[in-house]
Amino acid sequence: MSDIKVEASHSRNGTKNSNGDSGGNHNSRGNSNGSSQAALQLPDPEVVAKAGHRHFTAEYKRQILQEADACMRPGEVGALLRRESLYSSHLTTWCRQRERGELQGLTPAKRGRKSDPQAVENARLQREVDRLKAQLERAELIIEVQKKVSQLLGLPVTPNDDLK
């Protein structure tokens, strides 16, 4: 009985082993014996991107809970979970959410920093102040131009026209 040793050092773009030979299996003596043994294929070492979290809508959760409640025979809930690629923990979590409040518990919580209503109002007011300041600057520029035009035309400038 011969000991079989498979050398497997594949490069990323080729299929060469440590002996420099390409293809075929080798026994411990280095003889190629590709006809009697199936070629050993190693899995691709490339790492697959990690899948993100799934997010379920409130309507989908309600639908699955109704289907799960309608299951009467043993194994029907398991078949439902397999069909929808869900875990039993999803059902238990969604049932708890439903008990706390139908709409409140089934809608996903908004992630991230919560907005402060006062800060939102302050930002809106600041934008309005900036807009009004720009409008005032344009109006003052127009008034200055009108004064210069009236001086050039020889029209008298009354003291009430001066806003400053």
Give the model confidence (pLDDT) of 58-75 as tens digits: 888 889 999 999 998 999
Cβ neighbourhood burial of 72 (10 Å; 0-12, 13-18, 19+): exposed
Q: Are residues 5 and 33 in the same domain?
A: yes
Q: Residue 141: what pLDDT?
A: 95
Tell me how far apart the alpha carbons of residues 132 and 127 are, in angstroms, rounded to a whole number: 9
34 contacts 53 by C-beta, under 8 angstroms: no
Domain count for the chain: 2
Q: Are residues 93 and 65 in the same domain?
A: yes
80 contacts 71 by C-beta, under 8 angstroms: yes
Residue 72 lies in a domain: yes
Residue 154 lies in a domain: no
Structural domain range at position 19? 1-41
- For 78, other C-beta atoms within 10 Å of its C-beta total 11
pLDDT above 90 covers a percentage of the chain that reads 32
Q: Are residues 36 and 68 in the same domain?
A: no
> What pLDDT, in 10s, does the model give residues 106-158?
566 677 787 888 989 999 999 999 999 999 999 999 999 999 998 888 887 77
Tell me how far apart the alpha carbons of residues 138 and 132 are, in angstroms, rounded to a whole number: 10
Residue 84 lies in a domain: yes
Residue 62 lies in a domain: yes
Token reading at 153: 């035309």
Residue 63 lies in a domain: yes
